[in-house]
Structure 1
Amino acid sequence: MPDPNPAVLDFLATRRSRPAKTLSLPVPDRAALKPMLEMAARSPDHGKLEPWRFIVLERAALERLGALVAPCGAALGRTPEDIEKADRQYSQAHLAVAVIAVERASEKIPAIEQTYSAGAVCLALLNAALASGWGANWLSGWPSHDRGFVEAGLDLAPHERVAGMIHIGTQTAQPPERPRPDMDAITTWLSA
């Protein structure tokens, strides 16, 4: 018989990301953040390749990234609204962790499985932050998918991509519950 953990089940049944724009100071310090990173690194990792790494972005680094958004967006032909929204993700943030998907050469583990592992790390870090009492949100956005931006701003190598930006801070507002999927519409049961 299974031995359920009611507290974890309740957390998973009710977890809710906090909008990044509502996160404020204080943010976790290095001592508080390190256990969350360790929890995230316990994610499924077929082949033990560790196809991900972390870049912790503190305030000054986020401001530097924000300054790169406008010239990058202009070069890409982005609208002023797109540029302003993307800039706010960095210039108004206090702490974010960039989860970097690192494609490792492997004859056994396809690149897509490595990408899935990096996504699992993003969710695990988000949940670790929320379970630790912080507000958190998983974002990406067009700058994080632009090679010029990530190479200039994060010094990523050609085999690396941003899987997600996990913003962490003190929540200033309780978000309303949002509509959830119709489970019958998205679930197929196969018995044979």
Structure 2
Amino acid sequence: MDALELLLNRHSCPRLAEPAPAGEQLELIFKAGLRAPDHATLTPWEFIVFAGEQRYRLGDILAAAAEARGEVPEAVDKARNAPLRAPLVIAVAARVKPHDKVPELEQHLSAGCALMAMQMAAQAQGFNGIWRSGWFIFDRGVHRQLGLGEQDQLVGFLYLGTPLMEVRKLPERDPAQFVRYFDR
């Protein structure tokens, strides 16, 4: 698939099944993520992979966080089952490093770029996925269970697999509605 075609037709797929990317395919996905913009070459990312039975462990972590928040039992169950919606889940974290010229926000953005690059690399290889976030990515208990430090920040969970549905084409957007040329 042509790179420009891929970017212009980017879409997420919430319904995913086996097979998930593995082996060389998964390695290429990680390599794409590692090409994200990275001011001062800080490499402020970490990719935490949950495949197979490890998705249940992630579900337990999310359910415990939901319980700690006081969520209703249905929401706790939903959290527990969330990672089972795809055969592969990758938590993407910004591993923030102190730097005089690269603020935390810039490192968070870099990790977000890594996540999108990984999703695009999966799609280019015939897979698909969806970037999921929600309150989980800000929960410090989830962070601790994933081995993240106080300075680190989850930017999302990348769910990957084979699409179970034909994804509808996203509506075309007119750039003129979002672009302004500075003229002062």
What is the TM-score when the length of structure 1 is the normalising length? Answer: 0.86
Answer yes or no: is 1:157 the counterpart of 2:152: no
Equivalent position of 1:48 in the other structure = 41
Task: Report the alpha carbon displacement of residue 91 of structure 1 after superposing the two structures with TM.
Answer: 3.2
Equivalent position of 1:3 in the other structure = none
Q: What secondary structure does 2:63 align onto?
A: helix
CA distance in 2: counterparts of 1:89 and 1:181, whole angstroms: 31
Q: What secondary structure does 1:47 align onto?
A: helix
What letter matches 1:7 in structure 2?
Answer: D
Task: Report the alpha carbon displacement of residue 170 of structure 1 after superposing the two structures with TM.
Answer: 0.8
Equivalent position of 1:111 in the other structure = 104
CA distance in 2: counterparts of 1:68 and 1:53, whole angstroms: 18
Task: Pick the aligned partner of 1:23 from 12, 16, 19.
Answer: 16
Select between 182-191 and 108-117 the one with higher mean Cα deviation: 182-191
Task: Report the alpha carbon displacement of residue 81 of structure 1 after superposing the two structures with TM.
Answer: 4.4
Task: Report the alpha carbon displacement of residue 116 of structure 1 after superposing the two structures with TM.
Answer: 1.1
Distance 1:62 1:134, change over 3 A: same
Task: Pick the aligned partner of 2:137 from 139, 144, 158.
Answer: 144
Could you give the per-residue CA deviations for residues 144-171 of structure 1, whole angstroms, max 9, x where no partner exists? 321112212x121222221111111111
Answer yes or no: is 1:178 the counterpart of 2:173: no
Within 5 A, what are the aligned runs for 1:59-78?
59-78=52-71
Could you give the per-residue CA deviations for residues 130-189 of structure 1, whole angstroms, max 9, x where no partner exists? 11111111112222321112212x121222221111111111101222345453332212
Moved over 4 A (4+): none
What letter matches 1:70 in structure 2?
Answer: A
RMSD: 1.9
What letter matches 1:41 in structure 2?
Answer: L
Q: What secondary structure does 1:100 align onto?
A: strand
Task: Report the alpha carbon displacement of residue 45 of structure 1 after superposing the two structures with TM.
Answer: 0.4
Task: Pick the aligned partner of 2:5 from 5, 10, 29.
Answer: 10
What letter matches 2:179 in structure 1?
Answer: T
Aligned residue pair count: 184
CA distance in 1: counterparts of 2:137 and 2:54, whole angstroms: 14
Distance 1:142 1:83, change over 3 A: farther
CA distance in 2: counterparts of 1:10 and 1:76, whole angstroms: 42
Within 5 A, what are the aligned runs for 1:97-108?
97-108=90-101
8 Å Cα contact 1:51/1:114 also seen in 2: yes
**Structure 1: gaps spanning 5 or more residues:** 1-5
8 Å Cα contact 2:136/2:142 also seen in 1: yes
CA distance in 1: counterparts of 2:134 and 2:178, whole angstroms: 26
